[in-house]
């Protein structure tokens, strides 16, 4: 049977048609004549039993709408990335486990619906998607391809197996609707407060143990579905208001151990202020309120991934024991701290000294002030001059003066 004869058997008389619908015909493959219909802009082959899409689909260069709901697709061909005019792809109720990396070539794609599949990974997505539906899949984490998107407005992740959301979800600032119902989320990321365009948030059916303080930054027009009820943001926060940490309840000093997002020992400056967290247990808080350890919150969340509790540094903790540090007093041995600042600045290049000084001032302990830092900076500048050989001394002095680190009077003293 040639292409024309096959086409006529499906009631198609014109191979130059722009739209073709063949639904509920028990097809196990895409008929050959379809790939000759190069003028097609819309193709609907839903409710059949098609198991694969051949590479020849790439010949349909004009295709804007491809719908194959309720088939038996297990994978997509790489050539789908050749459909550079595609705007809508609807493949709900298939058996897809992943998507090809060529998806990132579909610049015109705006809507993609992949609900009710078996997706466990998504290596790439069209870069300008505005709607993405991935409900009823097997995702255990939010794919990085989603968090890199900057155009998504509607994201559906209901009924997956998510145990956590990455902080990077806060980068998708265009989101207006986020559906996360019926997952395994025990907490929401602190950066969810960055999603100021959100108007609907469905977190129903999750075992949440805490709500991030940053949610107060979301729009007052936001509707939240949780616990089988709908709330406006103010009412939701009133009912599930996060527990505030008293500013005098805990403190940090130079005996507190610091751990980064890999739970490796680090300096306090290696953990951004908005990432500092502690495990609120007796084993981590001394009787005088000093913390034994603080962590990058991402490290704690990573340690808990897929688990109800974790033993870390000799203590057992759950998600509801993680508390972000907010205005927690940080005290040190002042003399030792200032000596370290001076040593650090002496070993910093002249050009980088102002930036290093500002960085120090932005995270000072409560018992050290900016004037203390200025004094150490001046001492460091004088030491730099003294340590410089006679040939280069004037050049170094002039450079430090230009940076505002030495005055003419200071130069006379040297």
**What tens digit of pLDDT does each residue of 104-157 get?**
999 999 999 999 999 999 999 999 999 999 999 999 999 999 999 999 999 999
Shared domain for 32 and 51, answered yes or no, is: yes
Give the per-residue pLDDT at 388.
82
Q: Residues of the chain with pLDDT > 90: what percent? A: 50
Boundaries of domain holding 274: 257-324
Q: Counting beta carbons within 10 angstroms of the beta carbon of residue 220, is it exposed (0 to 12), middle (13 to 18) or buried (19 or more)?
A: exposed
Report yes or no: 105 and 83 within 8 Å, Cβ to Cβ.
no
Shared domain for 380 and 352, answered yes or no, is: yes
Shared domain for 266 and 307, answered yes or no, is: yes
Look up residue 283 and give its two tokens: 């084993």
From CA 175, how far away is CA 152, in angstroms rounded?
A: 6
Q: In what order do the strands lie in the sheet with 154-156?
A: 19-21, 42-44, 65-67, 88-90, 111-113, 131-133, 154-156, 177-179, 200-202, 223-226, 229-232
Percent of residues in the chain assigned helix, strand, coil, to nearest 5? 30, 15, 55
Shared domain for 356 and 397, answered yes or no, is: yes
pTM of the predicted model, to two decimals?
0.62
Write the pLDDT tens digit of every residue in 372-389: 888 888 888 888 888 888
Shared domain for 304 and 360, answered yes or no, is: no
Shared domain for 27 and 62, answered yes or no, is: yes
Q: What is the CATH number of the domain that holds 74?
A: 3.80.10.10
Shared domain for 184 and 314, answered yes or no, is: no
Shared domain for 401 and 286, answered yes or no, is: no
Write the pLDDT tens digit of every residue in 195-231: 999 999 999 999 888 788 889 999 999 999 998 899 9
CA quadruple 3, 5, 11, 14: dihedral positive or negative?
A: positive
Shared domain for 155 and 298, answered yes or no, is: no
When divided into structural domains, the chain yields a total of 3
Say which residue, 159 or 248, is predicted with more confidence: 159
> Looking at the domain assignment, is residue 251 inside a domain?
no
From CA 27, how far away is CA 85, in angstroms rounded?
A: 26
> Looking at the domain assignment, is residue 128 inside a domain?
yes
């Amino acid at each position: 049977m040639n292409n024309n004869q096959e086409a006529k058997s499906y009631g198609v008389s014109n191979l130059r048609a722009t739209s073709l619908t063949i639904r509920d015909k028990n097809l196990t493959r895409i008929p050959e004549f379809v790939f000759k219909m190069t003028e097609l802009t819309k193709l609907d082959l839903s409710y059949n039993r098609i198991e694969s899409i051949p590479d020849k689909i790439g010949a349909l260069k004009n295709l804007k709408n491809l719908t194959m709901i309720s088939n038996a697709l297990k994978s997509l061909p790489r050539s789908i990335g050749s459909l550079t005019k595609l705007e809508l792809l609807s493949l709900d109720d298939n058996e897809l486990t992943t998507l090809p990396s060529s998806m990132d070539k579909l610049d015109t794609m705006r809507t993609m619906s992949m609900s009710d599949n078996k997706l466990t990974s998504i290596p790439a997505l069209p870069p300008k998607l505005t709607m993405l539906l991935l409900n009823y899949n097997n995702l255990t984490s939010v794919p990085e391809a989603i968090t890199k998107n900057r155009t998504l407005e509607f994201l559906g992740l209901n009924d997956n197996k998510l145990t956590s959301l990455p902080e990077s979800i806060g980068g998708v600032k265009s989101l207006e609707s986020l559906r996360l119902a019926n997952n395994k989320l025990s907490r929401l990321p602190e950066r969810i407060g960055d999603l100021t365009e959100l108007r609907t948030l469905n977190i129903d059916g999750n075992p949440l143990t805490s709500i991030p303080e940053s949610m107060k930054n979301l729009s007052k027009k936001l509707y939240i579905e949780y616990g089988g009820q709908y709330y406006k943001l103010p009412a939701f926060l009133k009912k599930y208001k996060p527990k505030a940490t008293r500013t005098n309840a805990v403190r940090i000093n130079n005996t507190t151990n610091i751990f980064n997002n890999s739970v490796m020992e680090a300096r306090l400056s290696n953990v951004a202020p908005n990432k500092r967290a502690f495990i609120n247990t007796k084993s981590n808080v001394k009787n005088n309120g000093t913390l034994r350890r603080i962590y990058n919150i991402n490290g704690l969340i990573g340690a808990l991934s897929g688990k109800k509790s974790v033993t870390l540094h000799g203590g057992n903790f759950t998600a509801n024991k993680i508390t972000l540090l907010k205005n927690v007093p940080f005290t040190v041995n002042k003399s030792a701290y200032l000596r370290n600042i001076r040593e650090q600045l002496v070993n910093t290049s002249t050009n980088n000294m102002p930036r290093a000084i500002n960085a120090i001032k932005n995270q000072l302990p409560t018992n050290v002030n900016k004037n203390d830092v200025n004094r150490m900076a001046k001492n460091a500048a004088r030491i730099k001059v003294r340590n410089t050989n006679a040939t280069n001394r004037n050049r170094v002095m002039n450079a430090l003066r230009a940076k505002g680190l030495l005055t003419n009077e200071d130069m006379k003293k040297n």
